[in-house]
Structure 1
Amino acid sequence: MAKTVGDFVWERLGQWGVRRVYGYPGDGINGLIGALDRAKEEMPFVQVRHEEMAAFMATAHAKYTGEVGVCLATSGPGAIHLLNGLYDAKADHMPVLAIVGQQARAALGGHYQQEVDLAALFGDVCAYVQQASVPEQIRHLIDRAMRVAQGERKIACLILPNDLQELPAVEVPPHAHGTIHSGVGYAAPRVVPEPQALQQAAEVLNAGERVAMLVGAGALGATDEVLAVADMTQAGIAKALLGKAAVPDDLPWVTGSIGLLGTEPSWKMMQECDTLLMVGSGFPYSEFLPKEGAARGVQIDRDPSMLSLRYPMEVNLAGDSAATLRALLPLLRRKEAGRWRGRIAGWTEDWWALLEKRAMQKAEPINPQRVFWELSRRLPERAIIAADSGSTTNWYARDVKLRRGMMATLSGGLASMGSGMPYAIAAKFAHPERPVVAIVGDGAMQMNGMNELLTVSRYWKEWANPQLVVLVLNNRDLNQVTWEQRAMGGDPKFLGSQTLPEFSYAAFAELAGLRGIAVDDPERIGAAWDEALAMDRPVVLDFRTDPNVPPLPPHITLKQARAFMSSMFGEPELGSVLANTARQVASRVLPKRE
């Protein structure tokens, strides 16, 4: 048969290096789906359970590979479903291409079934949105969409009416006025600031006696350079959540995460530093950075609009993290090892000891911290972690030690529930030979994770390594919101909004043809992890944990303390909350290092 527009779409995307598309079918994209079937060897299609999951998977693909992630949805409701996952990509500056169907061109404007103004719908989330009208446009629309996604690290959307998809392809538009002739390919530039700006930054860092670094997702490809600058300046390194894998946690002067989910050493370092170097981070919570004027600042970011946004920096360097740090290194004077790094190492040593002590405290039936503490020491080499949003994020951020060579990410700027499972699936497709651990709360699992276990069941035999372990924190509570209500709103737990239905996630996994392990005994946690990581197929680890173990922040304000005390009046689980809080606070009795 003659090559159709649908055939040409996948052929052209293949020339751009796209090797997979996540989506769900519908009659608005029948021409594209038929073409995908014909191109299935070169362009595999991953059928998800809901279009939102396709967009999350495309976003995760971009995060785990650096490539453009591609998702596909039908017209009307299918296209609408993509939005949450696409906003996740936008919030975290990920390159994604969404391809959506539309009703036939002759029907548009006539209030036709499933007719939605898709250009307007996607106008906020996408940097580039275009609806095709004729086959001659397809080549340049794909080329420009991919170049915008790659070059600007933003979202692009192509809207293809269903009748257009079946027309004969036009690979080379006529050489005539009013046509566009585009090409394939993009080479990312190496952006380095001017020498004068680098010298100014070096002068600030050389003058500092107590240098602190904060690294984010933009530093994920600059591990060697970050460590070299830290050694030269004798800095400690704190990590924004999206940058958790940027440097390993087994270094004594890496203080771990920062913010409400962060560590006490990160808090102390930011309060006592006299110089701050931010690298590739848009960390949003300025209250966890030094007080304005307390520290001199240097920031490196490829996006100039993110510079000096969270803290008034003295020197702002627009450039790629690795290249800019390499250019900065020869200008730095090596500082002698001194008291500052020693203090940071002492804080960090005490903190890890405190976390272990807290993890081993009694709870009913299982302390959630211990689940993560036991995982941390068992993580396989080159493991990939896909974390969700919720109370699980607290324990992931604090208790899981990442080693060099591991990857980890989550929905950062959007902090969307329900992203963990699609992220994990995308990680397995992107890196089928590597072990993957999904960290999911029971709220997110009930929201959409259980459905995506069916996707795992369908595809796992295609993966070179079947290791995919899904940790479900089964606490029967929308736990993050419960604690936010207590500590921020001063409200007791509202059972009607917070309590989740009882459910066996392990049993559901077995029904789906996977393995399920239910654990309600703290002494079985380690053995359960060992069993799951040795399985010959994906596993759901269903840990029944205590919802009333408090995720204590690194610094408790007077306002938070008052709100918490106020919430205890009318708290339906008062005894458990107070007992667990007392155990966690009592664990703080450790030798102080200064």
Structure 2
Amino acid sequence: MFDRTAGSHAVELLKQWNVDHIYGMPGDSINELMEELRKVDIRFIQIRHEETGALAASAYSKLTGHIGVCLSIAGPGAIHLQNGLYDAKKDKTPVLAIVGQVASESVGTDTFQELKLESMFEDVSVYNRRVQTAEQLPDMLNQAVRAAYAEKGPAVLVVSDDLFSTKIKRDQQMTSPEYSEPHIRAAQDDLTKALELLQSAKKPVILAGKGAQNASDEVVAFSKKLNAPLIASLPAKGLIPDDHPNNLGQLGQLGTEPAEQAMKQTDLVILAGTAYPYREYLPEKAQAIQIDIDPRVIGKYYPATVGIVGDLGPALSWLTDQIGERNPAFLNEFKEKRAIWHDKLQTDIDKQTDKLQPQQVLGEIQQVMERDAVVSLDVGSITIWTAKYLQLTGQKLVLSSWLGTMGCGLPGALAAKLAYPDRQAIAIVGDGGFSMGMQDFVTAVKYELPMIIVVFNNQKLQLIEDEQKMTGNKPTNVDLANIDFAAFAIACGGEGYTAKTREELQDALSKAKASKRPVVIDAYVEDISAVL
């Protein structure tokens, strides 16, 4: 094999790993890699802040299951990646960060922009190595990607830029760009023990998490056979259609009354693909069956009576086949409560008020949202409003679940349009979250990524105010200086609309849905507590 640069080998391997785009910002410690990327058909998405790139890479991975890739220079660029990489770590999704470093001969001399990057990334990563020689680069890249998939988290590869341009001879391929996803069969003894609990339970409740991503049909079939109410964790919202009669909605601060009541009354909770952490919303003494592919989370937040380690779909299918006839009384009771609850929510949406209210905005979004849309949800009071009032019946939802980082809405929408160019992308954001990274709206404009961004503008950090009040404190420093988000969108080359009435909002959403450009709708809403 003729001599080629280590960088050319690296980008070829990225293609073989089916990487079709990378988020990053060029700079002096990755210039040689940029030269290699220029020569291949991997799309480089130039972002305006590395945090956006890392959050978008994480969101892309959550949406598709494929590895998301981001790139940064040494020093300040590397620091900016941290928030997005921690988001990927906490939500257990594979991301590769290629991080430039100062020239090889300068490492350790405390030169300009040099940091101890391996130390800085140690906590956030499942793989964290600095490439010492050009010959190592291809094989270490394969190791990094494989580790990201296997351990479901961020892999960090630190590379001095001069190594990318160094020629190496690859006479023999040492490793390959291949990863085989394991399929874990549950132990028969554990399944049998779980079946015994199911047969004796009078009021079982299923709590499904994002582990149900590829097993939603099995979860629904299990619920029907067991005659058990279904509750979904927020990351699982939409995996079980919100309009399914067995689905009581979410649990906890952002949950529904029927879900809370069912969980209080249950005598057996089935944790299906979730390690739900909020103990105060789970039963006090009920028995529990927990099914997860990760043995480390069995009983981690709730005392599992029976733990089943294995793929969720096959485990639930076996249990469904074995369950006998079940009394539907408990489920029917909560179907009625669910119907009453949904009528209440619809009344909230339909009521006429002088000022726009958050639930009314969500009701209007519901009207323009397409069946296969991708909804990117930011963090704050809008998370609670959306969980309660927006019905997902086939759409995908992406959010920062475990880290809960504000500013994730726009990066999620960018990732959605790159993952699914033909699908509608809607970002639901607060004025606080959007303003944390709104400069990258121009990225959507530059790459012609049409999306609808609805900003819930109440000029305050509403959820923080609610929390301060709940602790008995006087709200302080929660008011935000107002920004004309519509004017900002127009200044970036996109479309912007201001909505202060329901009619203005309906008109803006209609125009946004028909547009081929990125759109920001600045929706002025009342500052109503989301903690109901």
> Which residue number corresponds to residue 482 of structure 1?
465
Question: 2: distance between equivalents of 1:386 and 1:206?
Answer: 40
Contact 1:192 1:327 in 2 (8 A): no
Question: 2: distance between equivalents of 1:188 and 1:140?
Answer: 20
- The superposition leaves residues 223-270 of structure 1 with CA deviations (integer Å, 9 ceiling, x where unpaired) of 100001001101111111111021001112201111111111110110
Match of 2:490 among 510, 515, 521: 510
**TM-score in terms of structure 1 length:** 0.87
Question: 2: distance between equivalents of 1:264 and 1:523?
Answer: 31
What code does the residue aligned with 2:58 have? Answer: T
Q: CA shift at 1:3, angstroms?
A: 2.8
Match of 2:221 among 225, 228, 242: 228
Contact 1:75 1:101 in 2 (8 A): yes
What code does the residue aligned with 2:497 have? Answer: I
Contact 1:145 1:157 in 2 (8 A): yes
> Which residue number corresponds to residue 586 of structure 1?
none
Alignment of 1:18-57 (within 5 A): 18-39=19-40, 41=41, 43-57=42-56
Contact 2:3 2:169 in 1 (8 A): no
Task: Tell me which stretches of 4 or more aligned residues in structure 1 moved more than 6 Å.
Answer: none
> Which residue number corresponds to residue 589 of structure 1?
none
Question: 2: distance between equivalents of 1:401 and 1:48?
Answer: 32
Look up the SS of the partner of 1:257 in the other structure: coil
Unaligned stretches of 5+ residues in structure 2: none
Q: CA shift at 1:377, angstroms?
A: 3.7
> Which residue number corresponds to residue 159 of structure 1?
158
Question: 1: distance between equivalents of 2:11 and 2:353?
Answer: 53
Q: CA shift at 1:306, angstroms?
A: 1.2
Contact 1:199 1:331 in 2 (8 A): no
Identity %: 35
Distance 1:310 1:364, change over 3 A: farther
Look up the SS of the partner of 2:23 in the other structure: strand
Unaligned stretches of 5+ residues in structure 1: 174-179, 554-594
Q: CA shift at 1:332, angstroms?
A: 2.0
> Which residue number corresponds to residue 236 of structure 2?
243
Distance 1:421 1:36, change over 3 A: same
Match of 1:325 among 294, 298, 316: 316
Look up the SS of the partner of 2:4 in the other structure: coil
Task: Confirm or deny that 1:417 pairs with 2:406.
Answer: yes
Q: CA shift at 1:511, angstroms?
A: 1.7
Question: 2: distance between equivalents of 1:158 and 1:270?
Answer: 44
What code does the residue aligned with 1:379 have? Answer: M
What code does the residue aligned with 1:417 have? Answer: M
Question: 2: distance between equivalents of 1:214 and 1:190?
Answer: 22
Contact 1:367 1:522 in 2 (8 A): no
> Which residue number corresponds to residue 519 of structure 2?
539
- The superposition leaves residues 9-56 of structure 1 with CA deviations (integer Å, 9 ceiling, x where unpaired) of 1111111221111111111111111111111x2x11111110111110
Alignment of 1:148-547 (within 5 A): 148-172=147-171, 181-291=174-284, 293=285, 295-336=286-327, 338-361=328-351, 365-404=355-394, 406-449=395-438, 451-460=439-448, 466=450, 468-487=451-470, 489-494=471-476, 497-547=477-527
Question: 1: distance between equivalents of 2:215 and 2:9?
Answer: 37
Look up the SS of the partner of 2:128 in the other structure: strand
Question: 2: distance between equivalents of 1:324 and 1:23?
Answer: 41
| RMSD over aligned Cα atoms | 1.6
Contact 1:421 1:438 in 2 (8 A): yes
**TM-score in terms of structure 2 length:** 0.97
Contact 1:509 1:539 in 2 (8 A): yes
Question: 2: distance between equivalents of 1:172 and 1:213?
Answer: 55
Count how many residue pairs are aligned between Structure 1 and Structure 2: 531
Question: 2: distance between equivalents of 1:427 and 1:256?
Answer: 24
What code does the residue aligned with 1:387 have? Answer: L
Look up the SS of the partner of 1:235 in the other structure: coil
- The superposition leaves residues 63-108 of structure 1 with CA deviations (integer Å, 9 ceiling, x where unpaired) of 1100111110001111111000000000000111110011112111
> Which residue number corresponds to residue 573 of structure 1?
none
Task: Confirm or deny that 1:69 pairs with 2:61.
Answer: no
Contact 2:379 2:400 in 1 (8 A): yes
Contact 1:368 1:473 in 2 (8 A): yes
Q: CA shift at 1:190, angstroms?
A: 1.1
